Amino acid sequence: MIHKSISFLVKRSSMGIVWLFNCPEGCQHILIQKKIKLHQINNIFITSLDVKSTAGIIGLLSSLSLSSRIHTLSIYGPQGLFQYLQFLRKYSQTTFKYRLDIHILRYGFIKINSSCNTYVSPANCSINQLQCIILEEEKIGRFKPLKASIFHIKTGPLYGKLKLKYQLIGPDGCLIRGKFFTNPYYSGFKAIYCFHKYCYRNSIEFTLKTNTIRDQNNKLTGLYILY
């Protein structure tokens, strides 16, 4: 069951923050194997309310209540998520010792961190399932210090301005263009996770310019994107 899970996580190594996408049966066991501490999870993203995506959610939420380091937890998901969690809490007789924020999504962007976003859209019009695209923001090109030294530009704040492609005027009136001292901007990482066997039009359109594609047959249990 674990190797067929349709879940993965995004971890920011510098801050130890983890975004968990879906919570199947055996999710906590997988997290222990990956050496992920439960208190690092501050956001959970549910793409569908079927049993493969949510079988382990109530167990994980109950385990998080045992940690004194969890104060707020956000859960994102499709229509019906709030009622689903209400029923789970009622019939499992579970109480949460932290604030639980539930966000119902259909379209939109979610900010993961300062350099990474997630775009959410429906898998198709008739099924209440979501698909997500992880987008890394465009990166600034590397500065060319050797070329700057050839033009006798001293090390200092000017380097930062030139790296951002500013145009500067020197004391002699010479125009210095930053784009000649830096490499071109380059696109960040883009990944789409397809949760369905069958192809829908919007899924195909999203994958045309994507770096990484995974579907539920790839036996993926963990995807790490480190910043």
pLDDT per position as a tens digit, 182-191: 888 777 777 7
Spell out the SS3 assignment of 135-168.
EECCECCCECHHHHHHCCCCCCHHHHHHHCCCEE
Do 25 and 57 touch, CB atoms closer than 8 A? no
Domains (ranges, CATH) in the chain? 2-139+187-214 (3.60.15.10), 145-180 (no CATH)
The per-residue pLDDT for 210 is 53
Do 104 and 78 touch, CB atoms closer than 8 A? yes
CA–CA separation, 130 and 105 (whole Å): 8
Question: Which amino acid, 213?
Answer: I
Q: What is the mean pLDDT of each run of 10 residues along the chain (227 residues)?
A: 54 70 86 84 86 88 85 88 90 86 82 75 71 78 84 81 82 81 77 62 58 41 34
